[in-house]
């Protein structure tokens, strides 16, 4: 059996802002569906034919936004495999998104992390090897 992530579903305050972040990171992403339910709640699917992010409009403003890695329940980050991590970095930085800092000294993969406008952290990983043993090596001290 092969398993792959087909989509992730996020509740966000600003759907259009999140679409802008995703399309900056992935210029090939398109809005697959933009809809309002009978109760007026907006949801959008943005992605490719194979994978997408489902964005749901927050119904309550809530207090402070979720803070990744703070030890509270929630998603720390979503990771995408990309062909060109530096290209993603350049597009996101030029668009004004803030890079988060994580170690990146692995010989078989290059990882970058960026925060979207709502504070979610996103990982973009470029594998530098086709060998699964090298790609999935956890012996490096910075992992």
Q: Render pLDDT for 26-83 as a digit per residue (tens, 0 to 9).
A: 999 999 999 998 888 899 999 999 899 999 888 766 666 667 777 666 777 889 999 9
Give the model confidence (pLDDT) of 122-134 as tens digits: 999 999 999 988 8
Q: What is the pTM of this model?
A: 0.84
| Cβ neighbours around 48 below 10 Å, total | 11
pLDDT band at residue 17 under the 50/70/90 scheme = very high
Terminal Cα-to-Cα distance of the chain (whole angstroms): 28
Burial class (CB in 10 A: 0-12, 13-18, 19+), 112: buried
- Write down the pLDDT at residue 30: 97
Beta strands in the chain (DSSP E): 7-12, 30-36, 42-47, 52-57, 77-81, 99-100, 109-115, 121-127
Q: For each of the domains in the chain, give its residue range(s) and CATH number, in order of start.
A: 1-59 (3.10.180.10), 76-143 (3.10.180.10)
């Amino acid at each position: 059996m092969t398993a792959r992530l087909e989509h992730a579903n996020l509740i966000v305050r600003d759907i259009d802002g999140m679409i802008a972040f995703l399309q900056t990171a992935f210029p090939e992403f398109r809005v697959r569906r933009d809809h309002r339910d009978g109760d007026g709640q907006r949801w959008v699917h943005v992605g490719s034919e194979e994978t997408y992010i489902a964005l749901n409009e927050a119904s309550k403003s809530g207090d402070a936004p979720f803070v990744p890695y703070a030890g509270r329940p929630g998603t720390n980050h979503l990771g995408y495999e990309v062909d060109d991590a530096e290209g993603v970095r350049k597009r996101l930085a030029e668009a004004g998104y803030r890079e988060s800092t994580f170690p990146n000294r692995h010989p078989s993969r290059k990882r970058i992390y960026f925060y979207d406008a709502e504070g979610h952290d996103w990982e973009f990983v470029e594998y530098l090897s086709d060998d699964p043993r090298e790609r999935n090596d956890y012996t490096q001290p910075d992992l």
